[in-house]
């Protein structure tokens, strides 16, 4: 998809000021959508994103908190209008082997990575159904498909997104609403670049294309799935992982 959209629909991107989320926000903005980006922790990064992207609809709230989501969405809709497209991108890691994992590590990851998908989707889906149009696109992970040592919490949340999305896709298909998932592999972001070089080298060696992915590849797929003309694609999971995991 490279064309400007004819109607400036409203897009909300959770975790939309850094990494993959920032690329999605900027790409959707460049195509003419009205974009709201949410974030939780990094005020400096959010301000830098706001200055560099030209997107001034930036909101700070905890997407794992239903009431906070309701309040945040109310502000977004007051400024931009009803939400047409939701991109559930927010995510964190709290890695640990299960025999050492604390309940807090489990709960934080499930809250931010999975509860948020329910919270945000629940709050926008009724309006989408009533208007006869909607796009819900959620970012899962290769580790939600393959599993990963030290990530029982993260992998459970990311796998849960896939099951949630398949079920919701069936519920809303006749209402003009599509629900899809993107499951990235290792993408060149600050989170991945923070991995120790010797470990990252081993990771890249296991990727058949022998390199990390880029955020633009994911952002362009989001734009494709959000397109008004793409109403026949729903309930699907798109793997972008350089051939590392084939399903």
3-state SS class at 128: helix
Residues assigned a catalytic role: 154
User: Residues near 6 by Cβ (< 8 Å), separated by ≥ 6?
Assistant: 228
Closest CA to 1 of 205, 233, 241: 233
Q: Digits of tens for pLDDT over the chain (247 positions)?
A: 456 776 789 999 999 999 999 999 999 999 999 999 999 989 999 999 999 999 999 999 999 999 999 999 999 999 999 999 999 999 999 999 999 999 999 999 999 999 999 999 999 999 999 999 999 999 999 999 999 999 999 999 999 999 999 999 999 999 999 999 999 999 998 878 888 899 899 999 999 999 999 999 999 999 999 999 999 999 999 999 999 999 8
- H/E run at residue 39: strand 34-39
Nearest CA among 81, 56, 20, 29 for reference residue 73: 81
Q: What is the pLDDT of residue 136?
A: 99
Query: Is residue 73 within 8 Å of 83, Cβ to Cβ?
Result: yes
Domain 10-240 has CATH 3.40.50.720: yes
**Which pLDDT does position 204 carry in this prediction?**
95
**Residue 179: strand pairing partners:** 136
Rounded Cα distance, 49 and 22, in Å: 7
CA dihedral 109, 111, 116, 117 (to 10 degrees): 70
How far apart (Å, rounded) are the C-alpha atoms in residues 121 and 113? Answer: 13
> 244 and 210 in contact (C-beta within 8 Å)?
no
Please, what's the largest Cα pairwise distance for the chain? Answer: 53
**Which pair of structure tokens corresponds to residue 48?**
């830098």
Structure tokens that stand for 70 in this block: 């309701």
d(CA 229, CA 9) in angstroms, rounded, equals 13
In DSSP terms, which residues pair with 87 in a beta bridge? 13, 137
Q: Is 27 left (phi over 0), alpha (psi -120 to 50) or beta?
A: alpha
Cβ proximity of 105 and 156 under 8 Å: no
**pLDDT value of position 118:** 98
Q: How many CB atoms lie within 10 A of CB 57?
A: 20
3-state secondary structure of 117: helix
Which pLDDT score is estimated for 6? Answer: 66
């Amino acid at each position: 998809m490279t064309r400007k959209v004819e109607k400036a629909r409203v897009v909300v991107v959770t975790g939309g000021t850094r990494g993959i989320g920032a690329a999605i926000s900027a790409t959707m903005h460049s195509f003419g959508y009205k974009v709201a980006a949410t974030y939780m922790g990094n005020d400096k990064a959010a301000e830098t994103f706001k200055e560099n992207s030209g997107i001034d609809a930036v909101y700070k709230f905890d997407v794992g908190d239903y009431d906070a989501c309701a309040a945040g969405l109310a502000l977004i809709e007051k400024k931009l209008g009803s939400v047409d497209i939701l991109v559930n991108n927010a995510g964190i890691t709290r890695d640990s082997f299960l025999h050492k994992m604390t309940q807090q590590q489990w709960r934080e990851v499930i809250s931010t990575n999975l509860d948020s998908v329910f919270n945000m989707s629940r709050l926008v889906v009724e309006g989408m159904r009533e208007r006869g149009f909607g796009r819900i696109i959620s970012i899962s992970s290769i580790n939600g498909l393959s599993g990963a040592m030290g990530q029982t919490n993260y992998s459970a949340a990311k796998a849960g997104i896939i099951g949630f999305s398949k079920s919701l896709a069936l519920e809303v298909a006749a209402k003009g609403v599509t629900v899809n998932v993107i499951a990235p592999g290792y993408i060149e972001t600050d989170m991945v670049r923070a991995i120790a070089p010797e470990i990252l080298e081993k990771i890249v060696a296991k990727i058949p294309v022998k390199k990390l992915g880029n955020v633009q590849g994911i952002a362009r797929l989001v734009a494709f799935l959000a397109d008004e003309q793409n109403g026949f694609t729903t309930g699907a999971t798109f793997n972008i992982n350089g051939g590392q995991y084939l399903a």
